[in-house]
């Protein structure tokens, strides 16, 4: 495994490789990241993982400061997985150059998390675009847990005709169906217990929506979540995975999307 902190040295090293799989991360690696990396290793000649805690996608300075960091552990995990390359740029290394591509934010960016995190998706698309211009990977692997982010990156790539394919990867969950997330490390023990109960309730709610035992009601599900220990609910919405709008047909394939706070930790997921 080779570690780079300088884009010029990295580009020199990888320029001859045509089938690079790229996994962008903020660090704080967990089983979800491991799954993406293992898939990349399987389908690519070389795998490159970036670790960069990008301040531009954090609208809250406290959230940025409190984001779980353990770079020594991240490097240990990546060595064990036999990743080919790791890119850990400084802020200057990633932002000092002018990009060729225009940052394209699809209208879907105004929904879900976009309503509650001003500037977040512009920060995400900007940094991912910079990585793509530096690395020029054949594939970028992204998790379905961050479905909105995945779709926006996909649309940006398509509109700019970037020669990188987005590989969506299934969400990795623990035995209680809770999706792995770096932020969960900041939860207290009783908050983790509450999260299990909350996810269980949301899973049941989705089943009832599918079988049409209940009709969607934000007020009712919000009240239920608050009674289970949620501090604040940003949204609970049903979205058609094809139209990216509220499902109209009874048979439309939809997911339940949600974001809420347990204590100071914001949790998002969809299923």
Query: From CA 2, how far away is CA 99, in angstroms rounded?
Result: 26
Query: Which residue spans within the chain are E strands per DSSP?
Result: 2-4, 20-25, 46-51, 85-87, 139-143, 165-169, 232-240, 254-262, 265-270
CB 269 within 8 A of CB 236: no
- Predicted local confidence at residue 249, as pLDDT: 73
- Looking at residue 252, its pLDDT comes to 76
271 residues of the chain, pLDDT tens digit each = 999 999 999 999 999 999 999 999 999 999 999 999 999 999 999 999 999 999 999 998 989 999 999 999 999 999 999 999 999 999 999 999 999 999 999 999 999 999 999 999 999 999 999 999 999 999 999 999 999 999 999 999 999 999 999 999 999 999 999 999 999 999 999 999 999 999 999 999 999 999 999 999 999 999 999 999 999 999 999 999 999 999 987 677 899 999 999 999 999 999 9
For the chain, the distance separating the N- and C-terminal CA atoms, rounded to the nearest angstrom, is 35
Domains of the chain by residue range? 2-169, 182-270
Identify the active-site residue in 30, 33, 116, 156. Answer: 33
Which CATH number does the domain 182-270 belong to among 3.30.1300.10, 3.40.50.970, 3.40.47.10, 3.30.200.20? 3.30.1300.10
Instruction: Identify any residues that bridge with 114 across adjacent strands, giving them in sequence order.
Output: none
* 116 catalytically annotated: no
What pLDDT sits at residue 248?
A: 86
pTM: 0.95
Residue 172, helix vs strand vs coil: coil
Q: How far apart are CA 54 and CA 91, in angstroms?
A: 8
CATH number of 2-169: 3.40.50.620
* Sign, CA torsion 134/104/181/141: negative
């Amino acid at each position: 495994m080779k570690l780079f902190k300088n884009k010029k040295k990295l580009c020199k090293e990888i320029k001859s490789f045509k089938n690079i799989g790229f996994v962008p991360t903020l660090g704080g690696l967990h089983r979800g990241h491991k799954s993406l990396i293992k898939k990349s290793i399987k389908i690519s000649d070389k795998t490159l993982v970036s670790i960069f805690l990008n301040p531009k996608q954090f609208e809250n300075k406290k959230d940025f400061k409190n984001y779980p960091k353990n770079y020594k552990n991240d490097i240990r995990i990546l060595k064990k997985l036999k990743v080919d390359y790791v890119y850990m740029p400084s802020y200057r290394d990633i932002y000092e150059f002018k990009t060729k591509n225009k940052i394209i934010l699809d209208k879907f960016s105004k929904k879900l998390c976009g309503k509650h995190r001003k500037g977040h998706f512009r920060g995400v698309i900007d940094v991912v675009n910079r990585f793509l211009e530096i690395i020029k990977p054949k594939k970028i692997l992204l998790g379905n847990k961050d479905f909105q982010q995945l779709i926006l990156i996909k649309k940006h790539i398509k509109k700019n005709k970037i020669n990188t394919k987005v590989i969506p990867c299934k969400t990795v969950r623990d035995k209680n169906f809770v999706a792995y997330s770096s932020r969960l490390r900041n939860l207290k023990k009783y908050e983790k217990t509450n999260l299990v109960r909350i996810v269980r309730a949301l899973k049941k709610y989705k089943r009832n929506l599918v079988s049409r035992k209940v009709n969607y009601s934000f007020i009712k599900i919000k009240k239920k979540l608050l009674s289970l220990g949620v501090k604040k609910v940003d949204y609970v919405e049903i979205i058609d995975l094809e139209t990216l709008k509220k499902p109209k047909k009874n048979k439309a394939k939809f997911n339940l999307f949600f974001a809420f706070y347990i204590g100071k930790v914001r949790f998002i997921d969809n299923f």
